[in-house]
Structure formats: structure tokens, C-alpha cells
Amino acid sequence: MKLPIFAANWKMNHGPTDARAFMKSFLAHYPRQHDRKVLFFPNALSVTTVADAVRERPDLEVGVQNVHFEDKGAFTGENSAPMARDAGATHVLVGHSERRHVFGESDEAAGRKVQAALRAGLTPVLCVGELLAEREAGDTEAVVLRQLRAGIAGLDAQQVAGMLFAYEPVWAIGTGRTATPGDANTVHQAIRAALREAIGERAMGVPILYGGSVSRSNAPQLLAEEEVDGVLVGGASLDADGWNAIVRA
Ligand code: 13P
């Protein structure tokens, strides 16, 4: 059985001081749970703060929101996968819609970042999702599967089986507009089918998270869907009490 996964993407919020205060408050009210996993994706400057806070808690892990695909070199302003690992990260978001659409990251770059993450021993969380215009044109599945296939190109079955995936429709991110649980499940089924095509039955054990305006009120219905194995939460993960309510869903 897959444990449900609750992932907080803090985006460009909570520097080390806020992150420390958040973790202190969250940990005080959230004792260890054995039936779910909670992941935190703080900004890179707060990773060590969060990693230190969760050191005694195997049910809680920390990741970075992005890495460069090279391990080191003259790339001012970037962070690499080995550095993220050194700072205490176990996971990395790759191809988040803001990376793709605000920073112009290509499908191919996302694929290289997945490989860099795996080289460093980090678990990549490959994010895929369509724009509103693409959904309205009936291209949701084509876009999502194109991103997915580029993200796992060149990997072997064992590597893909160890990854996480997140479906985040771009029109649902930060807009208060969530995909219906049924719509989310339909896209998750398409992702599962593509993974099955790529790696066979092992695809059944790969977690697929949903993200996009997830809140404490809609999280339970989304998680009740057969193919929704967890949630990736932005805005509603920024407040320690609110996040506690979601992870107890
Ligand atoms: P919101 O939950 O703020 O819509 O953000 C979703 C997201 O992008 C998580 O990665």
C-alpha cells in the first residue's frame, strides 16, 4: 500500500527565520504519524533549517524546489543536486509550472534535471500540467504526457519506479480554481497508463500527487480518488496550523 503524501511547496516564502518558527509550531502540534508522509519544499536558503528541524522525524522530509542540471561550475545564482543533498534534501521538484512558464524551462531541461537529481541520490518529483488554453483546446493529455515522457527519457525502469509525479494544471495554481476530483483522477489515470507503458506493472506503486489550489476543505475529496496518491500544496501550506489541518486529512 502506498502511503499518502502531503507535500508543501513554499515557493519564494519563509526565509530561515520564518521557516524555523513554522517548524517549531508545526512539530509541537503534529506528532509522528506512521500512515502518511509529509514533505517540505522550502526555498534553498531555508533547506538546512527545515532539515535540522525534521532530523528526528522519519515521517517528515525536505526537498528543494529546483536544481541546475550540472553538478557544479560557473552558473551564478544556481544550486546543484549534490549541494541540495549536502544541505539535507532528499527530494527535488522538477519542472514545476512556474519554472516552465515563468522561467522558460523546457521539457528537455526538466529531463536533464531529473537525471542530475538521480545522480545525486535525490528523489525527483516531476511536475506536469497544462495551460488553460491547452485544456480548452482538448490538449490536456497530449501536453501532460509530452512533459512526462521528456522528463523520464533515457531512464531505466528502476529509476522511474523510484520517482514521484505531480499533476498540476496551470490554471488551478494559485487561482482558487481546483480541478474537480474526477477531472484530476482522469489525468492521473492517463499518467499511470503512460508510466505502465514505460515500466510495466511497477508503475502501479509510483505516487502521483495532485496540486493546484488544494485546501483543507477540498483535500479529503481529492485524496479519496483512486489515482490521487497525495497532494502538492502551495498557498495553503504556508501557515503551520492550516498545514497541520491538511496533513491530518
Ligand atoms: P497553490 O496551492 O497555491 O495553488 O499552488 C500549487 C502549487 O504550485 C504547488 O506546487
Helices (H), 41-101: 47-53, 81-86, 97-101
pLDDT at 1 over 70: no
Retrieve residue 34's grid coordinates: 506512521
Q: Decide if pLDDT at 141 tops 90.
A: yes
Question: pLDDT (tens digit, 9 = 90+) per residue, 51-93?
Answer: 999 999 999 999 999 999 999 999 999 999 999 999 999 999 9
Cα–Cα dist 208/232, whole Å:
10
Distance CA 126, CA 110 (A): 8
Q: What pTM does this model have?
A: 0.97
Average pLDDT over residues 173-196: 94
29 is catalytic: no
Say if ligand 1 is within 6 A of residue 173 CB. Answer: yes
| Ligand 1 center to 210 CA (angstroms) | 10
Structure-block grid coordinates of residue 37: 508522509
Give tens-digit pLDDT for 8-59: 999 999 999 999 999 999 999 999 999 999 999 999 999 999 999 999 999 9
Of 214, 215, 222, 239, the residue with max ligand 1 atoms within 8 A of its CB, to mutate for a pocket test, comes to 214
- Give the mutation target among 65, 175, 178, 213 for probing the ligand 1 site: most ligand atoms within 8 A of CB: 213
Q: Which atom of ligand 1 has the smallest separation from the CA of 11?
A: 10
Residue ranges in 70-126 assigned as alpha helix (H): 81-86, 97-101, 107-119
Above 70 in pLDDT, residue 145?
yes
The end-to-end CA distance of the chain, in Å, is 18
Cα–Cα distance measured from residue 232 to residue 246, given in angstroms and rounded to the nearest whole number: 11
Per-residue model confidence as pLDDT tens digits over 112-140 = 999 999 999 999 999 999 999 999 999 99
Atom number of ligand 1 nearest to Cα 96? 10
Kindly report the average pLDDT of the chain as a whole number.
97
Please give the Cα distance from 24 to 56 (Å, whole number): 13
